[in-house]
Chains A and B, each alone.
Chain A
Amino acid sequence: MSNEFLALGIIFAFIFITTIVGMLPGMREKLNLEGWAIGGRGFGRWLSWFILAGEIYTAFAFLGASGWAYARGGPTFYILGYGALAYVVGYYLLPKISPIGKKFGLMTQPDLVQHIYDSKLLGILTAIIGVLFLLPYLQLQLTGLGIIIQTCSYGLFTKVPAMLIAFTLVAIFVYLSGLKGVASTAVIKDVVMIVAVVFFGLYLPFHFFGNVGNMFEALDAAKPGFLTLPGPTKVLDSSWVMSTLVLTSLGFYMWPHFSANSFSAKGPEVLRHNAVFLPLYQICLLFPMLIGFTALLIIPGLSNPDMSFMLMVQKVFPGWALGLVGGAGALACMIPASDLILNTSMIFTRNIYCRGFNPKADHAHQKFVARIVVFIITATALCLAIFAPNLLVNLLLVGYSGVTQFFPMIVLGLFWKKATKVASFCGLIVGEILVVYLIFNKLDPISILGFHLNAGFFALTVNMIIFVVVSFLTSSKENIARKEQRLIT
């Protein structure tokens, strides 16, 4: 059989088997809305670990990290730094959220915001912003899948028809199984993906250079300065990396889908235990970078650096091996995508549709709307991927800059009694306007006093200052008393 059919056949087999496995938990029991969306709050240590980890290692880890290593060199290493720090933040944050969610029946991040500040409007605003910034992240997954199919078909397929097929499957998969399906397939995805990245990340440098150290020596000799900051770029220097690390480690748990995932855990103890072991998982991000660096020496001059991982495998291995990598990569795109779609549709239904337009909708009707929204969101992200393509890392950083603006409102709201509703509105609106303004005017990174700062970091700083000042101005005794009631569990 020819290489392209073998490779594509293996990918579709992967997707098909995973879809079946994902459907099983949904078929065995009839799920209500809570069961469909947050797994009935019954996830123990390992299932919860896998769903948290499974959400993190996405198309970005697989293709984006190698693409960035290929194009940008040294600044790529920031990716190694933020994950572990984010789990330190999560160690304190998630166990605080989870019991409040359980006690007051919260399911989504806007639910949480609405609950903390007793403001329906703030909840709706959070929901709208959350959905908007989840779209580039979902687009990232679709773009990744497009790249995989394109490479594995050896030019036979353009990415558009292949993406259409795969995402019809994802939508069906989300529709049938809900979060339990995502969790059980996340286990398969993680195992396959770790094996693939570790194997190829080590094999390729060893194959061409004898070992990893030699590969880096050769790269350093060929392109002096490439492996340090700012590498081949002018602006991605130490101050950019430091500000981006602050942004991404604080913003990590501000993604709307992470609240739902922490609500799905059995209790705070599960989340604390997970946070201890999750950093180790972060080492897996090193291996795709090794592939990107090797690719730069072996196949220089790629027009799309995000393709470097797949093209290296294609160059060295026959079609069946490319199919295995493609299958692992496809799962790394699809499973996080399902989780994202699921949570976005939940947020849209509960927090925008019901709270905003139809407060009397019963559970059956909500579930019906949620399932229609699944298709609408998938289609929107698909259109974005086709008509507004972008490098994977840019999509990731845009999403991060946007969702991190929730940080003062949510985290200070949970831990600081003086935080007020008015302060949240002011900080959030100013932060988001700054992010959008800076990104659309290509001022990211923004240069201040000779330092290059991540635009999202700059916006977060302004947001935080406004939040604290306005909170001091508007805080009252009754406000503090009401807050104590809502946060003590």
Chain B
Amino acid sequence: MKTLKLVLTLIPFCWTILMIPFVNRVKPIVLGLPFLAFWLVAGIFVAFICLSIIYKIDTKNPNQ
């Protein structure tokens, strides 16, 4: 469980920070947004999903 929590904590950081040099472009425009902006908006949802799962794990095992 601890490893899973760690991975879930790191995913949003990798998505949003480490990927910057690779997503730094305008095309393709997704959902009306330049690709860079789209990627960062998607990162918000990634963080939400990861935190939701961590929260579920924590509430199942309140002592962890």
Contacts and interface: CB of A to CB of B under 8 A. Distances in A.
B51 A85 contact: no
Contacts of B29: 213, 216-217
A14 interface: no
Interface string B6-34: 00010011001110110011100101111
A246 B17 contact: yes
Nearest to A212: B32
Contacts of A355: none
B24 A85 contact: no
Interface residues of B, number: 32
Which secondary structure dominates where chain A touches chain B? Answer: helix
Contact of A87 (B18, B25, B40, B47): B47
B44 A280 contact: yes
Contacts of A286: 33, 37, 41
Contacts of B25: 228
B32 A229 contact: no
B51 A229 contact: no
Interface string A274-295: 0111011011001001000000
B32 to A, nearest CB: 4
B43 A280 contact: no
A83 B55 contact: no
Nearest to B53: A276
Interface residues of A, number: 38
B52 A276 contact: yes
Contacts of B32: 211-213, 216
Given A228-B25, A242-B17, A88 B47 contact: yes
A280 B24 contact: no
Contacts of B47: 84-85, 87-88, 279
A80 interface: yes
Contacts of A85: 12-13, 16-17, 47
Given A85-B16, A228-B34, A276-B51, A282 B44 contact: yes
Interface in A439-468: none
A84 B34 contact: no
Nearest to B36: A77
Interface in A288-339: 289
A245 B21 contact: no
A91 B6 CA distance: 13
Contact of B48 (A217, A238, A276): A276
Contact of A273 (B12, B13, B55): B55
A435 interface: no
A267 interface: no
Interface string A212-229: 110011001000000111
A374 B34 CA distance: 44
Interface string A75-103: 00110110111011001100000000000
B36 A227 contact: yes
B44 A88 contact: no
A276 B49 CA distance: 8
Contacts of A136: none
Nearest to A241: B20
Nearest to A205: B32
Given A88-B12, A91-B54, A227-B34, A279 B26 contact: no
A211 B29 CA distance: 12
A80 B44 contact: yes
Given A84-B43, A276-B52, A279-B44, A212 B21 contact: no
A220 B34 CA distance: 9
A220 B16 contact: no
Nearest to B34: A227
Contacts of A238: 20-21, 24
A272 interface: yes
B54 to A, nearest CB: 7
B26 A220 contact: yes
Contact of A84 (B37, B48, B54): B48
Interface of A: 74, 77-78, 80-81, 83-85, 87-88, 91-92, 211-213, 216-217, 220, 227-229, 238, 241-242, 245-246, 249, 272-273, 275-277, 279-280, 282-283, 286, 289
Given A85-B12, A220-B26, A276-B51, 11 more contacts: A74-B36, A88-B9, A216-B33, A228-B24, A228-B34, A238-B21, A242-B21, A245-B16, A273-B55, A275-B51, A277-B48
Interface of B: 9, 12-13, 16-18, 20-21, 24-26, 29, 31-34, 36-37, 40-41, 43-48, 50-52, 54-55, 58
List the 8 shortest-distance A-B pairs measured between CB atoms, nearest first.
Answer: A212-B32, A84-B47, A213-B32, A80-B40, A238-B21, A227-B34, A279-B47, A81-B16
18 contacts: A77-B40, A80-B37, A83-B44, A87-B47, A88-B50, A88-B51, A213-B29, A216-B32, A220-B34, A227-B26, A227-B36, A228-B36, A245-B16, A245-B20, A275-B55, A279-B45, A280-B48, A283-B44
